[in-house]
Amino acid sequence: GDNLVVLGIETSCDDTAAAVVRGNGEVLSQVISSQADLLAQYGGVAPKQAEEAHSRVIDKVVQDALDRANLSEKDLSAVAVTIGPGLSLCLRVGVRKARRVAGEFNLPMVGVHHMEAHALVARLVEQELSFPFMALLISGGHNLLVLAHKLGQYTQLGTTVDDAIGEAFDKTAKWLGLDMRRSGGPAVEELALEGDAKSVKFNVPMKNHKDCNFSYAGLKTQVRLAIEAKDIDCKHPLSSATNEDRRNRADIAASFQRVAVLHLEEKCERAIDWALELEPSIKHMVVSGGVASNKYVRLRLNNIVKNKELKLVCPPPSLCTDNGVMVAWTGLEHFRVGRYDPPPPAIEPEDYV
Ligand code: KG4
Ligand code: ZN
């Protein structure tokens, strides 16, 4: 049980990440190589460039994870790797590496679902978090409300009908001319602190839909129109903006964030009611994925969840954004119950197509 040691590899998007985690939840190492410069250059993730960047660093990232854990491949119980969802070109870099390590050292492999990993890492953080529980998973590509009955058994209560909230944060940052050398979310969150969140009137999406689905495409358009109306030039960096220009941008950032999160709040409230009908013993609501590292998001959702007499479990920011720990941990959870693949044949890397 607790003596298991699993290596986790994550390459589904723009970060190359690896980690080594022990069965008792101890994180032995955690390494992330991010493509910040590429993000700034292309204003988003370009699959081909991202794949090349993963390929350049994957060997080193995995080696660093093992070195920092003071382990060699021989000490591992299994190798876990994200197999989807994500950019297929990028996923393949991680899967190829995992197969190479597992093949060479005769290790079982566990294929991990990226969104399940975002949810289950909360069980590493909070030991008392047991099934069934609820999860709101909010990232750049996904906006999911899930009821987790038991390991591997999930009911989707809601999803986005168009864009995810992280995508809306990223575009808002881009159009406001914020520093894109990191992802847009943190930049909008920081600027929003200076702004008046009630100054720009945005409509809360899907107000009249009595379901648990999300929509962020319309809010994105509202933000773009507000930015155009205030004559904000996104090519003009914030650092050289006039006071008035800066205040306008901050007001839009704060107003956007407030309404984007209000949408989450409304749908979470309804989803909790639905979930409690299906599973009355639920005690916890997990909020995870990159956007869950936002302090305002955490604060507002904590209020909702507390009012419903549940406990909010939000992993620390480093485990909310994409990371290798969540993959290693989810691999451990499945490995423990016998859900894994046998070691792949040991063949040379050039044999792979
Ligand atoms: O989970 P994640 O790292 O990657 C995906 O699976 O997509 O999430 C990335 C998303 C990006 O859209 C990023 O802007 C957003 O999470 N994000 C934030 C914050 N930190 C990251 N959004 C709002 N506030 C933040 N502090
Ligand atoms: Zn993610």
In this predicted model, what pLDDT tens digit does every residue of 229-247 receive, in sequence order?
999 988 888 888 999 999 9
Average pLDDT over residues 323-352: 90
pLDDT at 348: 63
Structure tokens at 5: 């040691």
Is the pLDDT at 182 greater than 90? The verdict is: no
Type of residue at 247: R
59: confidence class by pLDDT, cuts 50, 70, 90 = very high
pLDDT at 19: 98
Is the pLDDT at 351 greater than 60? The verdict is: no
pLDDT at 153: 98
Cis peptide before 132 (omega within 30 of 0): yes
Instruction: Decide whether any atom of ligand 1 lies within 6 Å of the 177 Cβ.
Output: no
pLDDT at 349: 57
HSE, CB side, 13 Å, CA atoms: give it for residue 185: 22
Distance 183 CA to ligand 1 centre (A): 7
Choice from 136, 321, 325, 326 to test ligand 1 binding pocket (greatest atom count within 8 A of CB): 321
Question: Which residue CA neighbors atom 3 of ligand 1 most closely?
Answer: 321
Instruction: Decide whether any atom of ligand 1 lies within 6 Å of the 140 Cβ.
Output: yes
What are the CA-CA distances from residue 337 to residues 65, 114, 152, 331, 345 (Å)? 25, 19, 11, 10, 23
Helix (H) / strand (E) containing 327: helix 325-336
Taking the alpha carbons of 59, 65, 68, 70 in that order, is the dihedral positive or negative?
negative
Q: pLDDT > 90: what percent of the chain? A: 87
pLDDT digits (tens, 9 = 90+) for 115-124: 999 999 999 9
Is residue 115 a contact partner of residue 137, using CB atoms and an 8 Å limit? yes
Question: Which residue CA neighbors atom 13 of ligand 1 most closely?
Answer: 185
ipTM score here?
Answer: 0.99
Is the pLDDT at 9 greater than 80? The verdict is: yes
Distance 44 CA to ligand 1 centre (A): 12
**Which atom of ligand 1 approaches the CA of 166 most closely?**
12
Distance 63 CA to ligand 2 centre (A): 23
Choice from 112, 115, 139 to test ligand 1 binding pocket (greatest atom count within 8 A of CB): 139
Instruction: Decide whether any atom of ligand 1 lies within 6 Å of the 294 Cβ.
Output: yes
Choice from 90, 169, 219, 256 to test ligand 1 binding pocket (greatest atom count within 8 A of CB): 169
Structure tokens at 243: 């006071």
HSE, CB side, 13 Å, CA atoms: give it for residue 312: 23
**Phi and psi dihedrals of 114, rounded to 5?**
-55, -45
Instruction: Decide whether any atom of ligand 1 lies within 6 Å of the 158 Cβ.
Output: no
Angle of helix 184-192 relative to helix 295-307, nearest 10 degrees, comes to 80
Is the pLDDT at 16 greater than 90? The verdict is: yes
pLDDT digits (tens, 9 = 90+) for 279-327: 999 999 999 999 999 999 999 999 999 999 999 999 999 999 999 999 9
**Which atom of ligand 1 approaches the CA of 165 most closely?**
12
**Which atom of ligand 1 approaches the CA of 183 most closely?**
14
Instruction: Decide whether any atom of ligand 1 lies within 6 Å of the 314 Cβ.
Output: no
Mean pLDDT lowest for which of 182-191, 195-204, 333-342?
A: 182-191
Q: Give this prediction's pTM.
A: 0.95
CB within 8 A of 142, min separation 6: which ones? 85, 115, 159, 160, 164, 289
Distance 39 CA to ligand 1 centre (A): 13
Question: Which residue CA neighbors atom 23 of ligand 1 most closely?
Answer: 185
Q: pLDDT > 70: what percent of the chain? A: 97
**Which atom of ligand 1 approaches the CA of 86 most closely?**
6
Distance 270 CA to ligand 2 centre (A): 24
**Which atom of ligand 1 approaches the CA of 184 most closely?**
14
**Which atom of ligand 1 approaches the CA of 167 most closely?**
12
